[in-house]
Amino acid sequence: MSTTYKVAVVVGSLRKDSMNRKLAQALSKLAPASLQLSIVEIGDLPLFNQDHEGNPSQPVIDFKQAIKSANAVLFVTPEYNRSVPGVLKNAIDTGSRPYGQSAWSGKPGAVISVSPGAIGGFGANHHLRQVLASVNVPTMPQPEAYIGNGSKLFDDSGALADPSTGEFLKKFLIAFDQWIERNI
């Protein structure tokens, strides 16, 4: 009997028509049966304020519960000014607090960055890896996934337009499945 892992997918863009959101949705369709991918929304989280740790809002409670109930986390993010979007950093900070009660701790993770530029969000990908190390998310080192020219990645219906990208993503997800199994 094979194990099915629940994977919380955190998209670092709030834009409805975001190429990162489209990629997260495509990944759900490409994932092996052993991975159950679900997007965990971050748009309703308030800005992190340590003064509110003792009395978290409902969106914070729901978000942390969704992360805690997952076996692993997959981050799909754009790059803003060579780093991660503020909304994604806010979600990570929110999920890590209060001290000693991090929702992230010990969850195997992976990062895919998507950018309209040629270098595919390399800066965001590596900054995010630094942040994830500090909240104890063992992040899959290989294969790395920096997907450039994101504006050409999807057809008009939102499906992946390039079969070779789909094959790469399938291999990435198989490697992630193995990473989860080794790190759970």
Percent of the chain with pLDDT over 70: 99
94 residue type, one letter = T
Please give the model's pTM, rounded to 2 decimal places: 0.97
Q: Of 177, 183, 182, 137, which Cα lies nearest the Cα of 4?
A: 177
CATH code for the domain in which residue 77 is found:
3.40.50.360
139 residue type, one letter = T
Say how many domains are in the chain: 1
Token code pair at residue 127: 């900054």
Token code pair at residue 178: 């193995």
* Cis preceding-peptide flag for 98 (omega within 30 of 0): yes
28 confidence band (pLDDT: 50, 70, 90): very high
Chain center to CA of 115: 15
Find the domain containing 116 and state its range: 5-183
Q: Of 17, 14, 26, 182, which Cα lies nearest the Cα of 90?
A: 14
The dihedral over CA atoms of 171, 72, 33, 79, expressed in degrees to the nearest 10, equals -50
User: What is the per-residue pLDDT across 73-126, written as a single tens digit (0 to 9) for each?
Assistant: 999 999 999 999 999 999 999 999 999 999 999 999 999 999 998 889 999 999
